[in-house]
Structure formats: C-alpha cells, structure tokens
Amino acid sequence: MSVINSAPSHSVIPAKAGIQGHIGRRVGLWVPAFAGMTMGVMGALTPYGAAAATPCDRACLTAIAERYMDALVAQDWRMLPWAKSVRYSENSVPMMIGDAIWGSISGHARDATIIADPASGNVAWLGRVDEHGQPAFYAMRIKVINGRIAEVETVIRRKEGRPPFGDAAGFVHDKRFAEAPRAKERPSRAVIAAAVQNYYKSVERNNGTVFAKFDPACARVENGVLADTGRYAMAQGCAAQLKAGLFADVGGVRFRVPVIDAERGVAVAFGYFDYPQRETSFNSSDGRSFEAETKYPYSLNFAALFKVTGSGAIQRVDQVAPELNYRIPSPWKE
C-alpha cells in the first residue's frame, strides 16, 4: 500500500516538494527530523499537516472555497486570489485553470459539505456540480498559502460509465460531517489519520483482516449510492463487509490525507484503488464467491470523506470515485 502523506510544515517544505511515501518511513524530501518516526510519534510532535506560514482560519478557508466555486460557475478564474505558482488537476490530470470543467460547468449545489483544515491550509468542498445542466458528483481541495490559492485538486464523477451513480441532483451528505462534537469527544489529528490509514490497510488485498475500528452503524456511500447492493448485499455495514473480504479485488491502494478537521472529526483522503482484475471471481472469507466487476484492469480515483469518533471509530465513509486508466499516476506526488 502506498501512502502519500500530507506535507509537513510548509515552513520547512516548499509548496512543490514531493509528498509521496509510507507513513513512518523515510521519504525523500522530508526533513530528517521526521525520518523513521511512527505516525503516532509524528502526530504527537507535529500536527498531521502543520501550520501554513500565514494562518487562514476556518472562516477564511471556507470563504475561499465558496468564492472558488462561485468563480468556477461564473467561468472567471480572474475573480480569485492566486499564488504566484499554482498547481491544478482534474481527475488526476494537471492542466491550466480555465480549461476542462471551467468551460462546461453551469451550476453548483448550495448545500455542499466544506471541510476546513487551518492547520495545513487546506479546505475541501464536496457536493454537486452541473455541466450544461447535467449533475455530477464533485470533490475539490484547495491549499491556501498566505491567503492565496496555491493548489486545486478536483475529482469529478459524471453520469456516464459503470455504476454506482446515484441521484446527484438530490444528494446531500450525512449531516454528521458538519457536526462538531464536544471538545472532550473529539479525536486528535493523529487518531483521525490513523483511522483512515487503517481503513485503507484493511481494504487493500482485503482478506477479512480488519485493522480499523468502526462504529456499528458505519455506512459507506459511493457516488451517492449506499454500498448495500450487489456484492455488498452479502454483508451489511463497513466492518462486516471488510470482515467478509468483499474488497479482495483491490490490488493496491494509493492515498493521501491532506485535509483533517479535528473539530468535526473529519478527514478527506484522495487516492486510488487499483484493480488488476487478474481473476474474474473472488471468494469471501466465509467461502462465498462473487464476480469481479470488470474483466479489464482499471483504477478508481477517489476523494473520500471520513467521519471519525473520539475513540477512533469510523462512522461514515462517503466517496466520489470516477473510473480512470489502470494505475494512472497521481500528479500530487513527485
């Protein structure tokens, strides 16, 4: 499993520094102080995703995300405060701001979920967009440095293609993503990050071993569809589906966790599930057989919202996930 960490302190790592690597391993461009540390130790010493040079608080980040979406619908990128050097990607392809969805968008939802992370300067906006009136599931991350937008990462799932694709026009996120638990019931950044890491560790080559903790009522939603049909009807709930080994076809998981909102116990992970599809059917851990969804290799590019309790149990996973070329590289690692 490849883990692409969120960048440590911007004050020591340039904005363009490479951020790929395994948590707890020495990574090429990390400062030596982080080398060899476990995630827990690292989390204790330095918040997971440390402070930007000039703080932009929750309200500031939220306002920038909203302004970005309004500028996008207006198809006028000049409305926004840009950093001197900006990185932009859409479904894993780097390109110029103003191209792609900047030319096809016709509207966006007003009831989006916005997750702000003042500690890292990142903010995510997840909701619905319309392109020439056709709704699509949309997730976007912005990194703000000194009050200016330095990075924009977007993941968009449109209607065409294989399921799942739910009612994008009527979709709303679980309201718990916006709720802030009482201070003593909040998980730390390190606990949230560990929950996400353990989730993907459980998914990759899933054989029934579950490394993550789950709330008994945990549910998973993909492109607006609750994962309880098809193969997922074989076991209900996040933990049960992993225990049943229903993700056995996921050959690899590559991910980063660039946005963590500790006040709300929410993280936004970006990454890929790689499906090599060398087999056409798989066995659940209790011996039942289920079919591979395709006979060809592919990757799912995802932006996933996680809600985590104070004890580190995952309550909800909600992802936007378009199908892309098998093992398409991430432009957010170097």
Partner 1 sequence: MGLAALSALPAAAQAPGERSAVYPLDCDRGCLIGFARSYMAALKAHRPSEVPAAKSVMFTENNVPLAIGDGLWGTVSDVSADALEVADAETGNAAWFGYVREHGEPAIYAMRIKVVDRKITEVETVVHRKTGLPAPFGEVTRMEHDHAFQEVLPAEQRRPRARLVAVAQSYFNTVEYNDGTVFAPFDEECARLENGISTTAVPKGAPTGAPAPGSGGPPPAAGSGGPPPASGGGGNASAIAQGCEAQFKLGLYRINKRVRERLFPIVDEERGVVVASGFFDHANYFDSYKLTNGATMRTAMKWPNSISLLEAFRIRDGKIHRIEAVFTYVPYFMHNPWAGAK
Report the interface residues with partner 1, using CB under 8 A. 90-95, 99-101, 103-104, 131-134, 136, 156, 158, 160-162, 276-278, 280, 294-298, 323-329
Closer residue to partner 1 (CB): 42 or 320: 320
Closer residue to partner 1 (CB): 37 or 152: 152
| Cα–Cα distance list, 11 to 17, 63, 161, 279 (Å) | 12, 24, 42, 47
State the nearest-atom distance from the C-beta of 251 to partner 1, in Å: 9
Closer residue to partner 1 (CB): 15 or 156: 156
State the nearest-atom distance from the C-beta of 327 to partner 1, in Å: 5
Closer residue to partner 1 (CB): 14 or 94: 94
Q: What are phi and psi of 84, to 5 degrees?
A: -65, -40
Closer residue to partner 1 (CB): 133 or 170: 133
Closer residue to partner 1 (CB): 75 or 198: 75
Closer residue to partner 1 (CB): 66 or 323: 323
Q: 3-state SS of the chain?
A: CEECCCCCCCCCCCCCCCCCCCCCCCCCCCCHHHCCCCHHHHHHHCCCCCCCCCCCCHHHHHHHHHHHHHHHHHCCHHHCCEEEEEEEEECCEECCECECHHHHEEEECCCCEEEEECCCCEEEEEEEEEECCEEEEEEEEEEEECCEEEEEEEEEECCCCCCCCCCCCCCCCCHHHHCCCCHHHCCCHHHHHHHHHHHHHHHCCCCCCCCCEEEEEEEEEECCEECCCHHHHHCCCHHHHHHCCCCCCCCEEEEEEEEEECCCCEEEEEEEEEECCCCCEEECCCCCEEECCCCCCEEEEEEEEEEECCCCEEEEEEEECCEECCCCCCCCCC
Q: Give dist(CA 87, CA 77) in Å, integer.
A: 14
State the nearest-atom distance from the C-beta of 240 to partner 1, in Å: 29
State the nearest-atom distance from the C-beta of 35 to partner 1, in Å: 28
Closer residue to partner 1 (CB): 207 or 325: 325
State the nearest-atom distance from the C-beta of 279 to partner 1, in Å: 9
State the nearest-atom distance from the C-beta of 130 to partner 1, in Å: 9
State the nearest-atom distance from the C-beta of 301 to partner 1, in Å: 9
State the nearest-atom distance from the C-beta of 89 to partner 1, in Å: 10
